[in-house]
Chains A and B, each alone.
Chain A
Amino acid sequence: MQINQYLDQLKRSLGIMKKDIRIYYLKGPVVIFGFLMPLFLFLAFFIGSRDMPMDFLISGLIGMTVFFTATAVSPVIAPWEAQVQTLERLISTPISITTLLFGDMLASFLFGILIPILPIALGLAIGINIIYPLTFILGIILAAACFSSFGLILSSPPSNAPSNVMMISSLVRFPLVFISGIFIPIEKMPYWGKIIASVSPLTYFTDLTRYSINGTSYYPIQVDLIAIIVFIVVFFFLAVQLHKITIYKRI
C-alpha cells in the first residue's frame, strides 16, 4: 500500500522530468551556463598554466562541467514556472513537493551526466587514460545527483524572476569552483584552504576524477564516495524542506 504509493509518485516524477527536458534543455541560458562556461574557464586557465600536467587539467574540466551542467537547469525551474504561471497548475495536481523536486532533479541529473561526455571525449582524444573507469562512472552519477540537488536549494528563495536566481546561483557556484581543488591541487593549499575545500562537494568529485585518471587522490576514495552520498541526502532533504515553505509564496 505505502510502497505502491511511493512507486506511483516516482512514476509521476518521470512525467515532470520529461517536461523539464523538453522545455529547459532548449533554453539558451541553460546551455550557455552549463556547457560553455566551464569550457571558457578551462581555456582561460589552460593558457595561464602550461606547466600543469594534462591529466590534472582535464580532470578539472570534467569536474567543472559536471558541476555546471547539473546545476544549470535545476535552479531556474521553480522561478520560471512561477513566472509563466504553470506552477499553479502543477501544485493543483496530485503530486507531492518531493515528487515535483525529484522530477526536476532527474532532469538536471541527466543533463549533468550527458554533457560531460564532451570533455571526457576530448580527454580521451588527446591521450588521457582512465585507469578506473567504473569508479569514474559511479563518481559522475553520484556527483550529478549531488549537484542537481544543490541546484534545487539555489532555487528555493521565493523569487519569481529566473534572472535573479541565475545571478544568485552564479554568485554561489563560481567561488565553489575556486575552492574545490580544480585550479589549485588540494595538497598545495594552506591549512585553512584545505578546511574550506572540505565543505565543498565538488572537492570530493574532483579528487575522485583525478584518482580515476591517474590513480592518485588526496582523500581515500571511500571518503570521496561517502562524502558525495551524504551531500546528496542532505541537499535533497534540505531542498524539499525549503521548497515546502517557499513554494506557496510564489503564487
Chain B
Amino acid sequence: MEHVIQVQNLTKIYGKLMAVNHINFEVLKGEIYGFLGPNGAGKTTTLRMLTGIIRPDKGEANILGFNIQKEPLKAKQNIGVVPETSNAYVDLSAWQNMMLMSELYGIPKKEAENRAENLLDRLGIYDRRDDKVNAFSKGMKQRLILCMALVNDPLLIFLDEPTSGLDVQSTHLIRDILQEFPEQGKTIFLTTHNMDEANNLCDRVAIINKGQIAAIDRPEKLKNMIKKLKSIEISFDKALNTKNLSELPHITQIRKKGDKFIVFTDNVDGLIHSLTLFAESENLKIVTLNTLDPSLEEVFVELTGDA
C-alpha cells in the first residue's frame, strides 16, 4: 500500500460557502504531510472529512485502503486523531480517559494498561494520571489528547494544529515524538498555520486557501518557486531609517526589522554593490550582510495573497 491517504474531488459545502472545494491529493506511507493555510481555509473541515467525523458533500477519501464513507470502522481502527479543540473528558481522570479510548478500540486490558503507562510517562503526565482532567493545564490536556490518539498504536495519525497555544517545551516534546513516527513506517497528516513547524517537520506541504489547494510540494521546492524574489539582510553601525536607503538602485522593497533592514531585489549582485558604495559615501560600517532565501512564509503569502 503506497498511498495511505487518497483524496478525490473532496468537497464540503456550508450553505453558500465552499468550505472545501474539489481537492485532490495523496499521502505516501511514512510521510509527514503538512496542511498549511490561513484561518478559515478549510483545514479542519478537510481533516474532519478524512477522519469520518463529518461527511463530504462530494468526492471520496480512501484511508489506509478503506473508503472512509463505506467502511468507516475499518478505516478508523488504525488511525489516531488529535482534533482541533481540546476534548478529553474533564470529569474523568487521565487514566480513565486512556482506558475509555482503549475500550473503544477493542484493545485487551493488559496491553492497554502497558501502552497507557508508556505514553503518559513519555509525555510527562504519568504522575498526574489519577487527577481529573479538569485540573490540567492547557499543555497537559493537549499532551493527554495526543496520548489518547496513540492508544491504538495507529499507522496514520491526524493532528489538527497540535501545538497551537503551547509553550516551547510542550511544542518540542510533541514534535520530537512526531518525528520518530516515519522511522516506524507511520504516517502523519497535520494541519498548521505555523510556517516554522511545516518547514522543519514536513516532508511535503499542501497549501490550502479558500477551500482550494494552491500548491503541493516539498518545503524547499516551494521556496524555489519564488526564488526570483531575493532579499538581503543588512545592518550598519549607526541608526538609519528606510528613507536613507530607499533611493538606492536595485531596491524593489525595503523593510526595517529591529536594527536591521530587509531589502528585496531582483539583482542581488547590483544591490550589494550599491549598498557598499552607500556605506562608503556615508562613512558607515556594515555590521552584517546576509543574502536570504525566501521563507516558506513568503511562499505562503505569495500564494494565498494575505498574511
Contact = CB atoms under 8 A, between A and B. Distances in A.
Interface string A82-113: 00111011111111100000000000000000
Interface residues of A, number: 25
Nearest to B45: A251
Contacts of A12: 103-104, 106
A248 B55 contact: yes
A93 B100 CA distance: 11
Contacts of B79: 92
Contacts of B91: 22-23, 26
A93 B101 contact: yes
B81 interface: yes
Interface in B43-101: 48, 51-55, 72-74, 76-77, 79, 81, 83, 85-92, 96, 100-101
Contact of B85 (A8, A23, A88): A88
Contacts of A94: 72-74, 76-77, 104-106
Contacts of B106: 8, 11-12, 94
B87 A85 contact: yes
B92 A23 contact: yes
B207 interface: no
Decide if the interface of chain A is mainly helix, strand, loop or mixed.
Answer: helix
A19 B95 CA distance: 12
Query: Which of A86, A89, A95 has the largest count of B CB atoms less than 10 A from its CB?
Result: A89
A19 B133 CA distance: 14
A89 B76 contact: no
Given A22-B91, A85-B85, A94-B77, A251 B103 contact: no
B148 interface: yes
B77 A88 contact: no
Contacts of B76: 92-94
Query: Which of A15, A18, A86 has the largest count of B CB atoms less than 10 A from its CB?
Result: A86
A19 B100 contact: yes
Contact of A96 (B73, B103, B105): B73
A39 interface: no
A14 interface: yes
Interface in B9-48: 48
Nearest to B80: A92
A18 B74 CA distance: 24
A19 B54 contact: no
Contact of A92 (B81, B96, B103): B81
A22 B92 contact: yes
A89 B87 contact: yes
Nearest to A11: B106
A93 B91 CA distance: 20
Nearest to A12: B104
A12 B103 CA distance: 6
B190 to A, nearest CB: 15
A205 B76 CA distance: 41
A28 to B, nearest CB: 13
B146 to A, nearest CB: 12
A193 to B, nearest CB: 44
B81 to A, nearest CB: 4
A110 to B, nearest CB: 17
A14 B103 contact: yes
Nearest to A95: B104
Given A94-B77, A251-B53, A89 B103 contact: no
Contacts of A248: 53-55
A84 B90 contact: yes
Interface of B: 48, 51-55, 72-74, 76-77, 79, 81, 83, 85-92, 96, 100-101, 103-106, 148
Interface of A: 8, 11-12, 14-16, 18-19, 22-23, 26, 84-86, 88-96, 248, 251
Given A92-B76, A96-B72, A248-B54, 5 more contacts: A15-B104, A26-B91, A91-B53, A93-B105, A94-B74
26 contacts: A8-B106, A12-B103, A12-B104, A14-B103, A15-B100, A16-B104, A18-B103, A19-B92, A19-B96, A19-B100, A23-B89, A84-B87, A85-B85, A86-B88, A86-B89, A88-B48, A88-B87, A89-B81, A89-B148, A91-B52, A92-B53, A92-B83, A93-B76, A93-B101, A93-B104, A95-B73
The 8 closest A-B pairs by CB, nearest first: A15-B103, A94-B76, A92-B81, A93-B104, A85-B87, A94-B77, A94-B73, A85-B85
